[in-house]
Amino acid sequence: MANMAVSRIKREFKEVMRSEEIVQCSIKIELINDSWTELRGEIAGPPDTPYEGGKFILEIKVPETYPFNPPKVRFITKIWHPNISSVTGAICLDILKDNWAAAMTLRTVLLSLQALLAAAEPDDPQDAVVAYQYKDKYPLFLMTAKHWTNVYAGGNSSEMIETITQNIFIS
């Protein structure tokens, strides 16, 4: 792996480990192999969203050309979100594609993904089924997202029942 990529990832790894978010347990990162090409990230579901209480694991692959090209990131934990494939975990986020900037870091990527969970973009979807549900049947979307969070990301089941009950009355 290129020297620049390795030295940068090492620094960024330290940056995440020292960050406030790690203290608040909202983001985590760990090394998968000694060549610094594969990492595993973890983000907490943001509060006041159907993902609250869940822990979402991410696969991060760092290319040789980093930081001139973005890291390849996908969700390992299954998630119900318009901009994330419910099958593969592929992410539709501009900063991981055309809008990547060399000054961005792993920390900013993880925080951007956390922000994406809180503010979906259904008009630029990765998963058309989820996007349709988000736009046309929002209560059902909330219920499904909460259910997936509970099943796959270790979410809170009592909150889940409460949400379902509320949604039944709303609809």
Partner 1 sequence: MDLSNIENWDTFLLRYPGIILSGSRARGTVKIKNKWYRLRLNCPYFPHLKDFSLEIQQPQKNTLAKISNNDLQTHWTVYDVMENLPILYNDCGFAFSSKEEKPVTTNIYQAIADLYAPERYLLELDDLCTRLRFSKFEENEQHYLQIELPSLKISDHSLPSCFAWEEQLQKYDNISAIVQQFQKYIQDLQPFYENFADIDELCYVVQPRPPVSTKCNWRIFVLRERVYLKLVIADPFASIASMSIQIIGPTQAVEELRRTLSEGLSTWDAELDIHKNLLRIFNLCYFPMPPGSGWLGGEADNASTGPQFCNICYSYQLDEGQIPIVSCDNIKCTMIYHAACLKEWFNTLSDGKDFLSVSFGACPFCKTVSFKRNLIYLFVKYPDARFLKIIINI
Interface with partner 1 by CB under 8 A: which residues? 4, 7-8, 11-12, 65, 67-69, 98, 101-103
- Residue position matching structure tokens 């986020």: 93
Order across the sheet with 55-61: list the strands.
27-31, 38-44, 55-61, 72-75
Extract the tokens encoding 33. 């192999």
The residue (of 23 and 103) whose beta carbon lies closer to partner 1 is: 103
Q: Shortest Cβ distance from residue 104 to partner 1 (Å)? A: 8
Q: Shortest Cβ distance from residue 31 to partner 1 (Å)? A: 17
Extract the tokens encoding 29. 């990162």
Catalytic-role residue among 9, 16, 27, 92: 92
- Residue position matching structure tokens 């736009």: 135
Q: Shortest Cβ distance from residue 123 to partner 1 (Å)? A: 22
- The closest alpha carbon to 130, from 73, 76, 79, belongs to 79
- The closest alpha carbon to 134, from 49, 12, 25, belongs to 49
The residue (of 102 and 115) whose beta carbon lies closer to partner 1 is: 102
Residue 167, CB-side half-sphere exposure with 13 Å CA sphere: 18
The residue (of 105 and 156) whose beta carbon lies closer to partner 1 is: 105
Q: Shortest Cβ distance from residue 28 to partner 1 (Å)? A: 21
92 annotated active-site: yes
The residue (of 100 and 148) whose beta carbon lies closer to partner 1 is: 100
Q: Which residues are part of the catalytic machinery?
A: 92
